[in-house]
Amino acid sequence: MGNLSGRVAIVTGGSEGIGKAIAAAMAREGASVMLTSRSQGRAESVAAELDAAHPGTVRGVACDVRDMTACEALVAATVEAFGGFDVLVNNAGLGIFKPIQEITLEEYRVQVETNLIGVFQVTKAALGPLIAADDAWIINVGSLASRNSFSRGVGYNASKFGLLGMTEAMMLDLRYEGIRTTILMPGSVNTDFSDHPDRPWAIQPEDLGETVLQLLSYPGQTLLSRIEVRPSQPPRG
């Protein structure tokens, strides 16, 4: 323990699933973490749960990433609590899986606003502290759906394809500002995000927490800019 001592991270969507696993892994290794949920009560509850195992390391705040004012308040709260931060994990996201014949404009729009514009807004709000930090990271949680289309993914694919392109452009913009930018692209993960969460063959959220720890351990001259993670043995057929 202690490999991340001195690190401070924001993890959006950190109250469940992948985000919670990343927050827990980072806290276990000595980082301080500000996690978010759209619900203040949920954010505080999960932060208290994780902080009980690692006292003084985890706090929670409500943030709807579609709201720029909320994103700016998140950054201000993190700076106030910890003095700054050097890791941003953009994990907040949602999926509505319907064919184009059925999906509504609002259902399409909320995915783009959360999964793509939300990442832009949190990142934009966070740039000042990240640039001021030493050896900062932005980790955007995408999906294999960032480059593989599927039926009923018209809104989700659009948002995740866009996230991949935006992340790689951000990487080029920020590399000389002392910020390494990467996209984590998991396949099937055993979380409630899926219609079928009980899938022991799938990637476990904790596996992705470990992936982030490994990423943060790389020396300063090295960047894994795109990380694809798949189940090793999904069902045949």
If phi > 0 it is left, if psi is from -120 to 50 it is alpha, else beta; for residue 83 that is: left
Question: For the residues of 183-228, what is the DSSP string, one character each?
Answer: EEEE-SBSSTTSS----TTSBPHHHHHHHHHHHHTS-TT----EEE
Q: Examine the residue annotation and report whether 156 is marked as an active-site residue of this protein.
A: yes
Of the residues 108, 156, 176, 218, only one is catalytic, namely: 156
Strands in 136-141's sheet, in edge-to-edge order, are 58-62, 32-37, 8-11, 87-90, 136-141, 179-186, 226-229
Structure tokens at 20: 């919670």
Structure tokens at 141: 């949680």
- Residue 125, CA distances (Å) to 143, 150, 201 in order: 23, 33, 38
Q: Are 163 and 140 in contact (CB under 8 A)?
A: yes
Structure tokens at 228: 């694809």
| Catalytic residue IDs | 156
